[in-house]
Amino acid sequence: MNTITPRPQALANARRVLDQARARRDALSIRAAAEQAAIGSDRTPDEIELILRRLHRIAPAAQDTTPTAPAARAA
């Protein structure tokens, strides 16, 4: 028997699944993430690892320059 899930509950369920997937992804080492990302890709795990390491290195700098006020983001 099929039941209809109310929209708020469906959104909460989807959010929980997404949060769990992000937590699993973030728990991977950079090398393991690169190896998984290389499956079916034209790039090697070594290339992807270099890209990921570069992104990890510049991410804090990108976060520091992002405006926090909604009006500043709209400008």
Neighbours of 55 (CB within 10 A): 11
Q: Is the dihedral of CA 16, 21, 26, 27 positive or negative?
A: positive
Encode pLDDT of 28-41 as tens digits.
999 999 999 999 99
3-state helix, strand, coil in the chain (%, to 5): 75, 0, 25
Rounded to two decimals, the pTM is: 0.57
Q: Which two tokens stand for residue 41?
A: 């890709």
Residue 49 covered by a domain: yes
What range defines the domain where residue 56 resides?
21-62
Residue 13 covered by a domain: no
Residue 71 covered by a domain: no
Number of domains in the chain: 1
Question: Is the separation of the CB atoms in 34 and 48 below 8 Å?
Answer: yes
The pLDDT of residue 13 is above 70 = yes
